[in-house]
């Protein structure tokens, strides 16, 4: 259902992206943004699940500008490597990786229909939030436990599209108080807290929570149905 393709950003940079197509004509498209572990088997699995529901899914490698071919697991060494790669991407001169995400949105719109959503996990959740506020051509955004998304600097952004955000009450990286402040600052956003840890959606992590993952996924699909 999926394959690697290359998409080209506005500055000519070639971005590898995992492309999962549904059977028949897509009902819309979702740009899927990775965690700090690369476009690994978990992200490709989520892309396949979206394609099975009729949406084209496109997962660009948001680490490609600093290192291509990144695919990490969830051990301590992988975690540290992922954090280093994230820091390198964050240090890129503006617009940095947002240029690659915009290219993915544009490509997804051509392949999957006019309506495009962005969805991201962990670092990808933060990037999905930034995309919702800064980029063109989106109809909706779904950040999952976006690390850094509830800081004052990020909270000051204004989304251009409907946002559905998922967070875990037991997430050691995103305090519940900051989630509550984010929800208060953005009353039009749909914000949910689950009795779960960071990374609760990923069934390859020790923090996976089946009940929270299923409820969040159900809400995500309903949200996409409304906006795509």
Is residue 122 annotated as part of the catalytic site, yes or no? Answer: yes
Q: Report the DSSP beta bridge partners of residue 167.
A: 193
What 3 state SS string does 84-112 have?
HHHHHHHCCCCCCCHHHHHHHHHHHHHHH
Q: Report the DSSP beta bridge partners of residue 6.
A: 16
Coil, helix or strand at residue 30: strand
Six-digit token string for 95: 């617009």
The catalytically annotated residue of 19, 122, 202, 227 is 122
Is residue 198 annotated as part of the catalytic site, yes or no? Answer: yes
The catalytically annotated residue of 171, 202, 209, 227 is 171
Q: Which residues contact 31 (CB under 8 A, 6 or more apart)?
A: 58, 59, 60, 101, 104, 105, 108, 116, 117, 118, 119, 131
Q: Whose CA is closest to 52, among 216, 224, 193, 206?
A: 224
The catalytically annotated residue of 198, 201, 202, 209 is 198
Is residue 11 annotated as part of the catalytic site, yes or no? Answer: no
Give the residue numbers annotated as catalytic, written as ranges.
Answer: 122, 171, 198
């Amino acid at each position: 259902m999926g394959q690697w393709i290359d998409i080209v950003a506005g500055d000519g940079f070639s971005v590898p992206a995992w492309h999962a197509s549904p059977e028949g004509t897509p009902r819309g498209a979702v740009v899927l943004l990775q965690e700090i572990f690369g476009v690994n088997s978990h992200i490709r699995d989520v892309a396949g699940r979206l394609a099975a529901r009729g949406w084209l899914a496109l997962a660009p490698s948001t680490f490609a500008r600093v290192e291509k071919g990144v695919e990490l697991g969830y051990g301590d060494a992988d975690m540290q490597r992922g954090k280093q790669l994230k820091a390198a991407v964050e240090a890129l001169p503006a617009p940095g990786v947002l240029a690659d995400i915009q290219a993915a949105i544009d490509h997804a719109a051509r392949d999957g229909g006019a309506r495009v959503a962005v969805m991201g996990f962990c670092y990808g959740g933060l990037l999905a939030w930034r995309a919702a506020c800064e980029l063109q051509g989106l109809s909706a955004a779904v950040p999952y436990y976006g690390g850094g998304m509830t800081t004052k600097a990020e909270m000051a952004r204004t989304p251009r599209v409907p946002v559905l955000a998922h967070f875990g009450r037991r997430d050691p990286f995103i305090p519940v108080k900051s989630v509550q402040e984010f929800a208060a600052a953005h009353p039009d956003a749909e914000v949910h807290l689950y009795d779960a840890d960071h990374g609760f959606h990923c069934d390859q992590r020790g923090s996976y929570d089946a009940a929270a993952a299923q409820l969040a996924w159900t809400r995500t699909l309903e949200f996409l149905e409304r906006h795509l």
